[in-house]
């Protein structure tokens, strides 16, 4: 069928809504628009007006990731549906004044957009070829569970950055979500590091383990930011798709098929070195020393002194040496050296919002474990209010003799 197929008369829509609400929604769903869609309609955003609940459904998909948002309209004059070029409507709407927006489609596929004194005619495409089956996938056969919104948002922020973003189709590009009677576990690893998040209070009788693509987790984080609902509904369909659903937003993504590494086995159970550091001070020192770290390896060295001093250093023969030093709040162990990729450590520290972190180590070539320390604001003692467990494992690199 020709991509310029016009819209049937009964499908014309006519709505009035705020520019801010419309722009926020198309900015969100446009992240799922196909970059190089085989079908021209996949380069468009789908609009559907429904007068029964006065909502405008706004959606986009690239057949792997789909995002749906529903916006309450001030008035719906005609029910109907159409698709509109994503890039143009996003760019245009962002430049319109924050006033009431009027959107109306005509029989010839033309879409009239007006806001204040601004008026535009945009050529749309029929919604007939748009894949609408993803608008909601929840069925009686779907596995359903609910996750706390606040903790899911926290988990996506603290875990997803550790996945392998180079190989899109790799198992390690995904984030592993595992739910069971033990709680909810979310983990990501690229082979050099592991980020692990666990909520013990949320339990499920039926065990589920899925691998969600990094891109989908990133968009989920944007989708749930700022929502007031305490829980998000999750539906798993045919073990191949997962849907995250709120009252006015849906995100659906294909799952990565395969077996995720048994990351629990990577976490050391014993250590003989422990250091507590101020997170901000540690991050600042790492940033300074990294300036003279090797551009390719980004390796820096830490030397923990038993007297409570941490020495940081980097050496690049063509550039020079960097030396820095900071106090250790608490230290248990003997003098100890370890080296690692500074970017990997800094990335974790930037995502944490605690005051102090704990580093535990055993041998120079064994993993180093970083954990946040949550403290009660009215006490110097560790807080019992932490709602989740979190650790970050980083593999060290072998230091050359003389470094």
In a domain, 289, yes or no: yes
234/255 same-domain check: yes
Q: What angle do CA 72, 11, 223 make, to 5 degrees?
A: 35
Q: What count of other Cβ atoms lies within 10 Å of the Cβ of residue 189?
A: 24
- 381 pLDDT more than 80: no
Query: Among 8-12, 23-27, 34-38, 269-273, whose mean pLDDT is lowest?
Result: 8-12
Residues 324 and 57: their CA atoms lie apart, in Å, by 55
- 383 pLDDT more than 80: no
User: Between the CA of residue 180 and those of 10, 156, 198, 200, 201, what are the distances in Å?
Assistant: 49, 19, 11, 10, 11
Arithmetic mean of pLDDT, 89-97: 97
178/102 same-domain check: no
- Residue 312: what pLDDT? 98
- 9 pLDDT more than 60: no
110/150 same-domain check: no
40/89 same-domain check: yes
Arithmetic mean of pLDDT, 46-74: 96
Arithmetic mean of pLDDT, 312-324: 94
Q: Specify the length of the chain in residues.
A: 403
381/352 same-domain check: yes
Burial class (CB in 10 A: 0-12, 13-18, 19+), 233: middle
Q: How confident is the model at residue 122 (pLDDT cuts 50, 70, 90)?
A: very high
Q: What is the CATH number of the domain that holds 19?
A: 3.10.150.10
The domain total for the chain is 3
- Residue 8: what pLDDT? 42
200/283 same-domain check: no
Residues 209 and 255: their CA atoms lie apart, in Å, by 11
Final residue before a domain boundary, out of 229, 250, 265: 265
- 204 pLDDT more than 90: no
In a domain, 403, yes or no: no
328/271 same-domain check: yes
The whole-model pTM stands at 0.89
194/294 same-domain check: no
- Residue 379: what pLDDT? 55
User: Looking at per-residue confidence, does 139 or 304 come out higher?
Assistant: 304
- Residue 375: what pLDDT? 66
Q: What count of other Cβ atoms lies within 10 Å of the Cβ of residue 234?
A: 21
Whether residue 67 contacts residue 28, with contact meaning beta carbons closer than 8 Å, is answered with: yes
> Could you tell me the residue range of the domain that residue 57 belongs to?
9-134
- Residue 138: what pLDDT? 65
Residues 342 and 163: their CA atoms lie apart, in Å, by 17
Final residue before a domain boundary, out of 241, 265, 289: 265
The average confidence (pLDDT) of the chain is 91
Arithmetic mean of pLDDT, 181-199: 95
292/380 same-domain check: yes
223/305 same-domain check: no
- Residue 135: what pLDDT? 74
Query: Among 2-11, 234-243, 376-385, whose mean pLDDT is lowest?
Result: 2-11
- Residue 216: what pLDDT? 96
Arithmetic mean of pLDDT, 95-115: 95
- 239 pLDDT more than 60: yes
Reduced to 3 states (helix: H, G, I; strand: E, B; else coil), residue 65 is strand
16/106 same-domain check: yes
Instruction: Write down the residue that tokens 């006519």 correspond to.
Output: 14
Whether residue 105 contacts residue 80, with contact meaning beta carbons closer than 8 Å, is answered with: yes
In a domain, 1, yes or no: no
- Residue 132: what pLDDT? 86
- Residue 10: what pLDDT? 45
- Residue 172: what pLDDT? 96
Count H helices, E strands: the chain? 6, 26
Q: What count of other Cβ atoms lies within 10 Å of the Cβ of residue 103?
A: 24
User: Looking at per-residue confidence, does 244 or 135 come out higher?
Assistant: 244
246/294 same-domain check: no
User: Looking at per-residue confidence, does 380 or 255 come out higher?
Assistant: 255
Q: Classify each residue of 371-385 as buried b or exposed e, where b means 16 or more C-beta atoms within 10 Å of its C-beta.
A: bbbbbeeeeeeeeee
In a domain, 402, yes or no: no
Percent of the chain at pLDDT exceeding 70: 92
- 69 pLDDT more than 60: yes
Whether residue 260 contacts residue 211, with contact meaning beta carbons closer than 8 Å, is answered with: yes
In a domain, 2, yes or no: no
Write out the two tokens for 146. 């609910």
Q: What strands lie across the sheet with 65-72, from one edge to the other?
A: 80-85, 44-50, 55-61, 65-72, 249-254, 241-245, 231-237, 143-148
Q: How confident is the model at residue 1 (pLDDT cuts 50, 70, 90)?
A: very low
Final residue before a domain boundary, out of 265, 289, 321: 265
Arithmetic mean of pLDDT, 281-304: 96
Write out the two tokens for 145. 């569970």
């Amino acid at each position: 069928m020709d991509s310029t197929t016009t819209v049937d008369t009964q499908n014309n829509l006519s709505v009035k809504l705020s520019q801010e609400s419309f722009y926020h929604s198309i900015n969100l769903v446009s992240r799922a628009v196909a970059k190089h869609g085989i079908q021209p309609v996949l380069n468009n955003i789908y609009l559907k007006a429904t007068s029964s609940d006065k909502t405008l459904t706004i959606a986009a998909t690239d057949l792997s990731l789909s995002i749906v948002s529903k916006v309450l309209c001030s008035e719906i004059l005609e029910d109907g549906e159409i698709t509109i070029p994503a890039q143009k409507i996003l760019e245009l709407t962002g430049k319109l004044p924050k006033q009431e927006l009027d959107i109306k489609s005509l029989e010839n596929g033309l879409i009239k957009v007006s806001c204040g004194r601004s008026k535009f005619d945009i050529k749309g495409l029929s919604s007939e070829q748009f894949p609408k089956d993803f608008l909601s996938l929840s069925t009686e056969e779907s596995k359903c569970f609910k996750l706390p919104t606040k903790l899911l948002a926290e988990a996506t922020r603290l875990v997803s950055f550790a996945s392998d973003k180079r190989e899109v189709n790799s198992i390690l590009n995904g984030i592993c979500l595992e739910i069971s009677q033990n709680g909810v576990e979310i983990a990501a690893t690229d082979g050099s590091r592991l980020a692990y998040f666990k909520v013990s209070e949320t339990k499920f009788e039926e065990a589920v383990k899925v691998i969600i693509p990094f891109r989908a987790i990133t968009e989920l984080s944007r989708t749930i930011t700022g929502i007031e609902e305490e829980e998000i509904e999750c539906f798993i369909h045919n073990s191949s798709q997962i849907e995250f659903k709120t009252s006015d937003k849906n995100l659906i993504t294909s799952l990565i098929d395969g077996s995720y590494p048994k990351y629990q086995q990577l976490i050391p159970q014993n250590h003989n070195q422990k250091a507590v550091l101020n997170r901000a001070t540690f991050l600042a020192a790492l940033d300074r020393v990294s300036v003279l770290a090797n551009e390719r390896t980004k390796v820096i060295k830490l030397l923990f002194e038993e007297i409570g001093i941490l020495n940081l250093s980097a050496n690049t023969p063509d550039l020079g040496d960097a030396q820095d030093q900071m106090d250790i709040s608490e230290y248990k162990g003997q003098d100890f050296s370890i080296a690692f990729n500074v970017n990997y450590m800094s990335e974790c520290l930037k995502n944490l919002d605690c005051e102090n972190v704990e580093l535990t180590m055993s041998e120079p070539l064994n993993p180093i474990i970083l954990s946040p320390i949550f403290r009660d604001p009215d006490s110097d003692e560790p807080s019992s209010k932490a709602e989740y467990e979190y650790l970050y494992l980083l593999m060290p690199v072998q230091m050359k003799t003389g470094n």
